[in-house]
Amino acid sequence: MAQHATLSAPLSATTYAAQRAQLIGTMPHLAALLPAEPPCAPAVRVMERRELRALLMPAANTHAELVMVMGWGDGSVPLALLGDAVCRQKRLHVLLFAGEEQAFAATFARPVLELLSGSQLTVSVIEDEQGIADMVIGCYPHHHHIPPLAGCDFIDAHPLTAPAAAFRAQHLARINELLADRTQAYGNDIIDSFTGLIQASRNARQLLPAPTIGELAGRFGDIPVISIAAGPSVKRRLDQLRALQDRCILIACDAALHGLLDQGIDPHFVTPLERLGNLAMFTRAGESRAIYAGLPVVHPDVVGRFSAERTVGVYCGDALYPWLVPDPGRRINAGQSTGVLSVTVGAALTTGPLFLVGHDLARGENGSHWEGAGTAGDAWKEAKQRSESAKMTGFYTDRLIPGNGDEAVRSTMCWDHFRTEIAYEAQLLKAQGRTVYNVNAHDRIFARIDHTAAAPLPDPASLPKLPTLTLPAREPARFAQWSARASRLPEDGHAFRRHLAGLRADLGVALKGVPTHAAAAGFAARLDLCAEISEGNRGAFAYFLRSALHNSTAEMHNRRRTASSARSAYAMVETMDHLCHGLANAMDRLQEGLEEIARDCT
Amino acid sequence: MTAPDLAPNALAEPLRALSVWASGHCGYGHHVRTEVMRGALSAILRRLVYFGLEDGFTRYHSRELLMYLGLATGTFSSYLARIVLARAIVEDEREVIGAFASSHAADDLLAWFAAYDHADAERAGALLAGLVEPEERATARLVVARRQPQLAEAQWLWQVPAEVPQVAIALCAQFLTRRPDLVHAVHAWLIEHRTALFCIEPDDLLAPLVMASAEHPQVTLLPFADMYGEQTVCASAEWHLEHHEPAAALELAGRVRPLSRHADHAHVIRGLALIALQRSEDAVEALAAIDDADCADLLAVALAAVAPARIDDDAVAAIAGRCRADQPERFVACLKVLLGRRELAIARRLAAQRQGDFAHPHAQAVITAILAPGAAMSA
């Protein structure tokens, strides 16, 4: 039997240099950890073979795709995993903790590199709590990356250097928490399902000609932007906001609009995001100067409350948006809340500083939301009581998170998720030399948002009065171009249904036999899209295809936790069969909507 | 015609459920999704039905049990009970089948089974002739083939629906052991239908089949090359070992990964093969690689017989002291090693300590002989 390679052999300077170069070639971010000369290895308890085997056996006896190793230790865990024929086919993600940089440099290990195929091993360096969120977002950004977490094996009991062991003990729960949260972050297309496609199409005539957020970028210079969410702390900023409303650009989340108007504060932009036709919070949109800077997938009744001249096209990263407008100039991270969207839209509008107001993301003493955003508070209470699906995912589970003061604050899983999204945007801006200021951090209240700085709102006297904000002219050609594509949706729908029927027939045959992994990969390629769909509409079909993938791929990764390679391949093919079935049913329901879209755009 | 007093196709539903269950997508919701949960549910149900509730409560976490009991109520309970009985019929688990006789949980299914199980050749032929539903017909043929193997035909195997591979495998085993003239049909069927074997729990199905088919040189499993699970490889290696082909056993056992859950089993086979090849020094290495104490004891006793310097008397005595009641052969092997080393006193002490622990007549005879007043080294 093959035996585990060991790390005991000393490393020559020549070998070290060669393999250091190889490792840096594949993972450049590790360069800072690898000195020119091999360092001495610090003390790490060496595991006995039996202990190591007991630790790794669960991962080595399933076909789950991903193994996460919490800490480098002396490198023996990744080495043993890569030495195993089954584990070598998996993706191995090693978290390198603060305090084990030297151990890594001393033992990053020749045998590991010899076994390494290149793309199967990822090493992330985590030096602090911020690094955890950065790793989770950076390594599991989207659809293809997140589902394997559902079947992931965690190895987190192996010895580390003393400081790394302390780091792991302190932060392991947080790492697991954020990785679990990640399954809620597939992106908008998963949330929308078919609703997004239909509603965006119905909004097309109004929104597509509107100037895009990319066309607005830089138009307002470096004017400070204030992003206003709906947390309880908004109440204490009202006077300042009133004084600043003509000296900064104010962007309000949807629920805050009416409350701000009641207080004599008229925001410049508002960022609706929810797909439901909740008109209550926009019935007075006509009284406001606010420009619609929400998502195209919002219910048409909401978008219709804003005149065409007061709309901006906001385009994000999901597959729907290139289908609507192939080149909007700039795409933004939508996030999963209107508050997050107000941050990302604000960041795109100017090159100036961005101030966060009301992004409390924790409970206040008197409630979850500012009373001026009563709609949001009511919706929140209702959702907490009624939304079974959200409860099942733990979306409203209470959670203690770091506060701006010395103590943790009471939050929920979803607020914590929004916090991570804003922190990610702030990190991107920081890399560009810009700063996001959290006013709550200055007052040391509510939730901490990483990568932001503490500052009060600016002094109105220090800022010039704003000129009237004007938008570029509308571009009707964008709607015409989209119409040409959309008019073919019905025939593409039929083609897709035929494609699904053929695919299902082939999958049925495969399921009677022994599907191999190669066969499963072949089906996956066929499932991805259909050649008969017109090129212009492929993005639209890919968009709702993703919604079906949401549950089934996570389930598939869970079912691949089996020791049998045949069963693993079978699970993959069977999942695709289920997916095709679901898609075919969905297409039956969708076809009528596609016909309607085609009629309306001609 | 169908069996008397039985609705047509009584077995079809539980059999389909069984195949769906085995293939991993349970029709009764998302609660029973993961393999672990499904396995636990299967085991719990089996134990609840067979051993009674008390054992279930002590063996399983109360939360799990509560969930499963909560699930298994009313018609659902009856449904699952029928699945368990269908599985027992296919696997010929007589004790489980017997337990259903008193529980009345699936009387119609039990009557169906009894009709085929007790039928003479003529009656069985008549009953089978009236069956049209494929799953029911295949299972009825399996039951009959166990009692009346002379009635079996090659087409019985070919007509088993792909959805119930368990039935096909059981028929294969029957043909291999009871109908040598149909072995060629097994071979042809295996090549054509590796399908069901690998799609659904391949190791558990294939491992015993490898053992059975290896007795028949004309049945090769080459079409399954590189698709064996490690459990099957171990079973194959074990067969070679038992048939005095240690080199082949060594080669097969060497294919099992050190991190495999079957690695200890493979190490034992490897060690035994090395001993057979008179490479006991290498067998010591195999012993050192074993983590499971029971597996280690098995190999250590064999090693003690050929390499006394490696396994001392105290170690042998300790192994003998650990032998379970269902391991009389290991206990006897320990005594033989000690007697071979002329350690009669130790052997006597062990025999005296454990004389009531083993029901096996051979073990009792050895113990009695050692404890006899006149027993001397010549014993």
> Would strands A409-412 and A225-228 be described as parallel, antiparallel, or unpaired?
unpaired
Torsion angles phi and psi, residue A70, rounded to 5? -90, 85
User: Each residue of A203-222: pLDDT tens digit?
Assistant: 999 999 999 999 998 889 99
User: Each residue of A291-304: pLDDT tens digit?
Assistant: 999 999 999 999 99
B25 inside 8 A of chain A by CB: yes
Residue contacts between A and B (CB atoms, under 8 Å): 92
User: Each residue of A507-527: pLDDT tens digit?
Assistant: 988 877 667 777 888 888 887
Of the candidates B162, B203, B289, which has its C-beta nearest A564's C-beta?
A: B203
Task: Test A84 with B201 for CB contact under 8 angstroms.
Answer: no
Least confident of A236-245, A321-330, A557-566: A557-566
A551 inside 8 A of chain B by CB: no
Residues of A in contact with B203 (CB under 8 A): 563-564
User: Each residue of A262-312: pLDDT tens digit?
Assistant: 999 999 999 998 887 776 778 888 889 999 999 999 999 999 999 999 999
For residue A365, the 8-state DSSP code is T
Question: Measured between CA atoms, how close is B357 to chain A, in angstroms?
Answer: 32
Question: Measured between CA atoms, how close is A15 to chain B, in angstroms?
Answer: 28
Residues of A in contact with B266 (CB under 8 A): 1
Task: Test B198 with A566 for CB contact under 8 angstroms.
Answer: yes
pLDDT of residue A88: 82
Task: Test A567 with B202 for CB contact under 8 angstroms.
Answer: yes
When pLDDT is averaged across residues B348-364 and rounded to a whole number, the result is: 90
Residue A486 in tokens:
């959309």
Q: H/E/C letters for each residue in chain B?
A: CCCCCCCCCCCHHHHHHHHHHHHCCCCCCCCCCCHHHHHHHHHHHHHHHHCCHHHHHHHCCHHHHHHHHHHCCHHHHHHHHHHHHHHHHHHCCHHHHHHHHHHCCCHHHHHHHHHHHCCCHHHHHHHHHCCCCHHHHHHHHHHHHHHCHHHCCHHHHHCCCCCCHHHHHHHHHHHHHHCHHHHHHHHHHHHHCHHHHHHCCHHHHHHHHHHHHCCCCCCCCHHHCCCCCHHHHHHHHHHHHHCCCHHHHHHHHCCCCCCCCCHHHHHHHHHHHHHHCCCHHHHHHHHHCCCCHHHHHHHHHHHHHHCCCCCCHHHHHHHHHHCCCCCHHHHHHHHHHHHHCCCHHHHHHHHHHHCCCCCCHHHHHHHHHHHCCCCCCCC
Q: How many CB atoms lie within 10 A of CB A64?
A: 22
Cα–Cα distance for residue pair B282/B355, rounded to 1 Å: 35
pLDDT of residue B203: 55
Contact (Cβ atoms closer than 8 angstroms) between residue B163 and residue B19: yes
Percent of chain B's residues with pLDDT above 70: 66
Task: Test B34 with A564 for CB contact under 8 angstroms.
Answer: no
A1 inside 8 A of chain B by CB: yes
Residues of A in contact with B258 (CB under 8 A): 1-4, 53, 84
Of the candidates B162, B199, B267, which has its C-beta nearest A566's C-beta?
A: B199
B263 inside 8 A of chain A by CB: yes
Task: Test A514 with B256 for CB contact under 8 angstroms.
Answer: no
When pLDDT is averaged across residues A236-251 and rounded to a whole number, the result is: 96
When pLDDT is averaged across residues A179-183 and rounded to a whole number, the result is: 80
Residues of B in contact with A50 (CB under 8 A): 291
Hey, is A152 helix, strand or coil? coil
Task: Test B258 with A85 for CB contact under 8 angstroms.
Answer: no
Cα–Cα distance for residue pair B204/A407, rounded to 1 Å: 55
Question: Measured between CA atoms, how close is A3 to chain B, in angstroms?
Answer: 7
Cα–Cα distance for residue pair A458/A462, rounded to 1 Å: 7
- Nearest in space to A263 (alpha carbons), one of A234, A290, A285: A234
Residues of A in contact with B249 (CB under 8 A): none
Q: How many CB atoms lie within 10 A of CB B186?
A: 25
For residue A533, the 8-state DSSP code is S
Residues of B in contact with A85 (CB under 8 A): 257
When pLDDT is averaged across residues A567-586 and rounded to a whole number, the result is: 83
Residues in B 189-218 with any Cβ partner in A closer than 8 A = 194-195, 197-203
Task: Test A565 with B227 for CB contact under 8 angstroms.
Answer: yes
- Nearest in space to A76 (alpha carbons), one of A102, A53, A99, A101: A53
Buried b (16+ CB within 10 A) or exposed e, B229-241: bbbbbbbbbbbbb
pLDDT of residue B208: 64
Task: Test B259 with A512 for CB contact under 8 angstroms.
Answer: no
Residue B18: band (very low, low, confident or very high) from pLDDT cuts 50, 70, 90: very low
B271 inside 8 A of chain A by CB: no
Residues of A in contact with B289 (CB under 8 A): 1, 49
Hey, is A124 helix, strand or coil? strand
Residues of A in contact with B267 (CB under 8 A): 1
A559 inside 8 A of chain B by CB: yes
Torsion of CA A378, A383, A386, A387, to 10 degrees: 170
Residues of A in contact with B230 (CB under 8 A): 563
**B215 Cα distance to chain centroid:** 17
Cα–Cα distance for residue pair B304/B312, rounded to 1 Å: 7
Residue from B194, B234, B259, B290 to probe the interface with A (highest A Cβ count within 10 Å): B259
B293 inside 8 A of chain A by CB: no
User: Each residue of B157-179: pLDDT tens digit?
Assistant: 989 887 677 788 889 888 988 89
Percent of chain B's residues with pLDDT above 90: 35
Q: Which amino acid is at A532?
A: E
pLDDT at B140 over 90: yes
User: Each residue of A342-357: pLDDT tens digit?
Assistant: 999 999 999 999 999 9
Residue carrying the six token digits 């000609």: A209
pLDDT at A440 over 80: yes
Cα–Cα distance for residue pair A271/A269, rounded to 1 Å: 7
When pLDDT is averaged across residues B347-361 and rounded to a whole number, the result is: 91
Hey, is A273 helix, strand or coil? coil
For residue A126, give the H/E element and its range: strand A121-126
Hey, is A354 helix, strand or coil? strand
Contacts of B245 (CB under 8 A, 6+ apart): none
What is the average pLDDT score of chain B?
75
| Helical axes B62-71 vs B35-50, angle rounded to 10° | 80
pLDDT at B8 over 80: no
pLDDT of residue B230: 80
Partners of residue A438 on adjacent β-strands: A356, A454
Of the candidates A85, A512, A564, which has its C-beta nearest B257's C-beta?
A: A85
Contacts of B372 (CB under 8 A, 6+ apart): B379
pLDDT of residue B349: 95
pLDDT of residue B70: 39
pLDDT of residue A9: 52
pLDDT of residue A245: 96
Strand order in the sheet with A453-454: A291-292, A269-271, A249-253, A225-228, A354-357, A436-438, A453-454
Task: Test A61 with B260 for CB contact under 8 angstroms.
Answer: yes
Least confident of A379-388, A413-422, A536-545, B325-334: A379-388
User: Each residue of A99-113: pLDDT tens digit?
Assistant: 898 888 888 765 555
Residue from B163, B199, B206, B250 to probe the interface with A (highest A Cβ count within 10 Å): B199
Task: Test A514 with B195 for CB contact under 8 angstroms.
Answer: yes
A425 inside 8 A of chain B by CB: no
User: Each residue of B95-139: pLDDT tens digit?
Assistant: 777 777 776 767 888 899 999 999 999 999 999 998 888 888 999
User: Each residue of A22-40: pLDDT tens digit?
Assistant: 778 878 888 888 888 877 7
**Minimum CA–CA partner of A61 in chain B:** B260
pLDDT at B1 over 70: no
When pLDDT is averaged across residues A108-129 and rounded to a whole number, the result is: 71
User: Each residue of B217-257: pLDDT tens digit?
Assistant: 667 665 555 556 787 788 778 878 888 889 989 988 998 89
Residues in A 85-114 with any Cβ partner in B closer than 8 A = 85-87
Cα–Cα distance for residue pair B41/B24, rounded to 1 Å: 13
Least confident of A529-533, A537-541, B219-223: B219-223
Contacts of B71 (CB under 8 A, 6+ apart): B28, B31, B32, B41
Cα–Cα distance for residue pair A546/A550, rounded to 1 Å: 6
What is the average pLDDT score of chain A?
85
> Would strands A398-401 and A409-412 be described as parallel, antiparallel, or unpaired?
antiparallel
Question: Measured between CA atoms, how close is A87 to chain B, in angstroms?
Answer: 9
pLDDT at B54 over 60: no
Question: Is the ipTM above a cut-off of 0.90?
Answer: no
pLDDT of residue B336: 93
For residue A473, the 8-state DSSP code is P
Task: Test B23 with A561 for CB contact under 8 angstroms.
Answer: no
pLDDT of residue A120: 78
**Minimum CA–CA partner of A80 in chain B:** B259
Q: Which residue has the higher pLDDT, B164 or A470?
A: A470
Contacts of A402 (CB under 8 A, 6+ apart): A129, A408, A409, A447, A448
**Minimum CA–CA partner of A573 in chain B:** B199
A54 inside 8 A of chain B by CB: yes
**Minimum CA–CA partner of A54 in chain B:** B259
- Nearest in space to A507 (alpha carbons), one of A523, A494, A492, A495: A523
pLDDT of residue B36: 33
- Nearest in space to A246 (alpha carbons), one of A470, A469, A472: A469
Task: Test A563 with B254 for CB contact under 8 angstroms.
Answer: no
Torsion of CA A336, A341, A342, A347, to 10 degrees: 130
Residues of A in contact with B204 (CB under 8 A): none
Least confident of A371-375, A536-540, B76-80: B76-80
Q: If 0-12 CB within 10 Å is exposed, 13-18 middle and 19+ buried, where does residue A455 land?
A: middle
